[in-house]
Structures are given as structure tokens and as C-alpha cells.
Copies of this chain bind each other. A is one copy, B any other.
Amino acid sequence: MIFLTRRERFNAAHRLFRADWSDEKNMDVFGKCSNPNWHGHNYVLYVTVKGELNPEFGFVINLKILSKIINKRIIEKLDHKNLNTEVDFLKGKIMSTENLAIGIWEQLMPEIQRYGCQLHCVKIQETENNFVEYFG
């Protein structure tokens, strides 16, 4: 079993808040991250797949294919977008890095499996000081 990771990036706006909370409670729990006028990040996404080495190609999965899947399913939908309002598979969720990682996992998992390997980890780096990892 061998592990291959692809890094991709997207720049997006978001805010942390719950519509069923007052502004005061949102500010108290989420601080400046709940600014109603949005803020944003250069998100860095690491997708790790695992599988047996395909002896014919020497690969777990062809990197061109892996990159194409991530771009089609994730980057095109998230890059230069508002994560709270413009992404179908994130609608209604609190836009924490945790929920973002879980949402991306659910999009990628069935796609990756078609190529004979497994999704191992979705890692999202939100700033240089924090990141989230989800293993399903």
C-alpha cells in the first residue's frame, strides 16, 4: 500500500455564523470570523489517496487524473467563490474548516474509488497556523 498526495489551491470568501443566533452570540463564539461583510482565505487543499501500486504504470493513480477530479469536483466550484452562499454541497453548514473538509471528502470519495484506489485524507490549510485533516 502506498500513499499519494496532490496539493491544489482555491481563494474564497466565507464567514462563521449561525442564522439562528443573534449577532452578539455569533460574535461571542466566532469572534471576528463572523464579520457579516465576509473575509477570506487562500485555502490549500491536500488530497491523499492510497492503494496498491499498479505494476503496469508504476502509479497508485495517474496524477493527471487525480488533479482533473479535484479540479472538476472541488476547485471549479470553490475557487473565487463565497463558500457560504455559492457552493451546492456546502449549503446550510457552518462554514468551519472542519465542515469544509468533510464536504470535500464526500464529493471526492465516490470519484476516487472508480479508479481502483481509496481516498485516505482530505487536509485543508486555512492559514499558516491552522489546518484540519479528515480521514472519513
For A16, the chain B residues whose CB sits under 8 A away are 58
Q: Which residues of B contact A80 (CB under 8 A)?
A: 32-33, 35, 39
Contact-residue bracket for chain A: 35 or more
A79 vs B33: C-alpha distance when bound (angstroms): 10
Interchain CA distance A48-B33 in the complex, whole Å: 21
A residues at B contact (CB < 8 Å): 1-9, 11-14, 16, 29, 31-33, 35, 37-42, 48, 53, 57-60, 62-64, 79-82, 85-86, 93-99, 101-102, 127-135
Sample of 5 further A-B pairs with CB below 8 A, known A29-B62, A53-B98? A5-B133, A12-B40, A31-B64, A42-B127, A58-B96
